[in-house]
């Protein structure tokens, strides 16, 4: 089994910054696209940013120019640097991996659509 564990959330004032981390654990060979999603109260979960194993990125229009997604493949970790935070960025942020290839005895299997438990980000004065 693999797990995604997020960290780095918290309370920050408008205009401030936070850096989220998401580390994948388990006997992992490779991870394909990793992404950050968020869900605010009463709203649907939405994609914030994603990054492929090759480093291609895409962002929601609402965070372009403010957030930066990156990953360290050797550490199986994805990051989200969030700058110029606004109150509307307040949400639970979830890490996702669309496909993780991991060891299973002498062979390997894929785990699909793996989610972390979420980390709260609150932007308020």
Looking at residue 16, its pLDDT comes to 98
Looking at residue 1, its pLDDT comes to 86
| Mean pLDDT score, 19-38 | 96
What are the pLDDT digits (tens) for 79-97? 999 999 999 999 999 999 9
Listing DSSP states for 66-78 in one string gives TEEEEEEGGGTEE
Q: Considering the chain, what is the average pLDDT of its residues?
A: 96
CB 69 within 8 A of CB 50: yes
* Tokens, residue 125: 């004065």
């Amino acid at each position: 089994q693999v797990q995604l564990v997020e960290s780095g959330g918290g309370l920050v004032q408008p205009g401030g910054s936070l850096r989220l981390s998401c580390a994948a654990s388990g006997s992992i060979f490779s991870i394909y696209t990793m992404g950050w999603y968020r869900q605010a109260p009463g709203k649907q979960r939405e994609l914030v940013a994603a990054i492929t194993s090759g480093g291609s990125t895409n962002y929601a229009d609402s965070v372009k120019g403010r957030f930066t997604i990156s990953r360290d493949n050797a550490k199986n970790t994805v990051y989200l640097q969030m700058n110029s935070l606004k109150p509307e960025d307040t949400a639970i942020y979830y890490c996702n991996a669309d496909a993780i290839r991991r060891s299973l005895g002498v062979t390997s299997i894929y785990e699909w659509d793996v989610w972390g438990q979420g980390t709260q980000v609150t932007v308020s004065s």
